[in-house]
Amino acid sequence: MSSHSNNIGDAKDKQARLWGKTKHLSGAPMPVVIEHIETQLVDLPTIRPHKLSMATMGCQTLVIVRMRHSDGVEGLGEGTTIGGLSYGPESPESIKCNIDTYLAPLLIGQSSANINALRARMNRHVRGNTIAKSALETALLDAQGKRLEVSVATLLGGTNHDHLPVLWTLASGDTQQDIEEAFQRLDDRRHCDFKLKIGANSVDQDVNHVAMIKEALGERASIRVDINQAWDESTAVRGIAALQNAGIDLIEQPVDARDKAAMIRLSRRFNVSMLADEAVQDTRDGLDLVCGGFSGAFALKIAKSGGPLEALELAHLAQASGMELYGGTMLEGTIGTAASLHAWSTLSEMAWGTEMFGPLLLEDDIVAEPLSYHEFGVELPAGPGLGITLDEDKLTHYSRK
């Protein structure tokens, strides 16, 4: 048999898997449908307290989605937020409840293959709840990849990168501890860029803390800060001027996400780059900032955009507008981190790298094979779908009873 015939046979086999083996009485194939969606709350302790402007975390709660289909394929997804309800309007408990009560019934019984139609169905019937929708979209992509024996990155257009740079967040709150932690990460060749979470203390305290770390690390590392919306505009003017003088490379979301006009003014006032995070959830927000004259970078997060597909739509808008990109995290575990990595790997360039370090912040994992972090970055997991398999024993151990 010729290689051409083999290719045709392979294509027919994949089509059969896509549509399933069950047939109507007429002989026509029946589409694969979503049969069951299960959610679990998983509580994993962090390796140290993680201090942000709005909360200090000692545990991270993941919402794990297991989506089973009529062809026997299971898709995995994850919905994760930061600090319960201190970061945004979705909590782990509400993510689980709203998937179980509102979103899962919209999907069960629907064809598995048409992900765009399922996204539209969720958005038509449920407002907001982007983290919950992202978890479900991830599970759909994972299942489709497994079904077709290709990676999620392939479904999204194919990879430009198999190894992505990853920074580390220094958020112990103690200056000397942060310095020692940074040097250890550098010596281990784990991370060479660092972000500091500030905004919980006075401007002078925060600037002094950041400046001391930058002075200690010198040119060995890039230092960025995330204020997490803690400042008003006048405070931001004073704080950013001092941070710029200290040699900080990037200022993330200094003011309230709703105050886009202030973000635009700050981006045009200073030479140091501004990073819009909470201010740019989706393409509509991105368009508003671009049309308003924002000069800076966009932080991409699949959770805030409602899934990898919308996050990539925002990325493409940013690229067309000359905005730089950064791959952000909600401190997800391995499943959510892998979903983001598959999306980011398809982009031609991410000028500010990524912060996909979430699994490294956790004491343990619920997957059979952890992500591979080395040489200041992380490897894109190989294999069909997300390339992730659950460790059932650890999942049971850490699941909330």
Q: Chain-centre distance of CA 272, in angstroms?
A: 25
The SS3 assignment for 343 reads: helix
Backbone angles phi, psi at 123, to 5 degrees: -70, -30
Strand segments (E) across 199-338 = 222-226, 250-252, 273-276, 296-300, 324-327
234 conformational bin, left if phi > 0, alpha if psi -120 to 50, beta if neither: alpha
Name the residue among 218, 224, 182, 225 with its Cα closest to residue 201.
225
- Marked catalytic residue, from 90, 252, 310, 355: 355
Distance CA 326, CA 147 (A): 31
392 is catalytic: no
R_g of the chain computed on alpha carbons = 22
Distance CA 113, CA 128 (A): 23
- Calculate the alpha carbon distances from 110 to 55, 104, 116, 307, 385 in Å: 40, 10, 12, 19, 20
- For helices 233-245 and 260-269, angle between their N-to-C axes, nearest 10 degrees: 30
Longest CA–CA span in the chain (Å) reads 75
394 is catalytic: no
Strand segments (E) across 348-392 = 373-374, 377-379
- 260-293 burial, b at 16+ Cβ within 10 Å, e below that, comes to bebbbbbbeebebbbbbbbbbbbbebbeebbeee
- Marked catalytic residue, from 96, 197, 214, 301: 197
Distance CA 39, CA 93 (A): 10
Instruction: Give the pair of three-digit tokens for residue 158.
Output: 């194919």
Amino acid at 169: T
At residue 253's C-alpha, the angle toward residues 249 and 258, to 5°, is: 155
**Which residues are marked as active site?**
197, 355
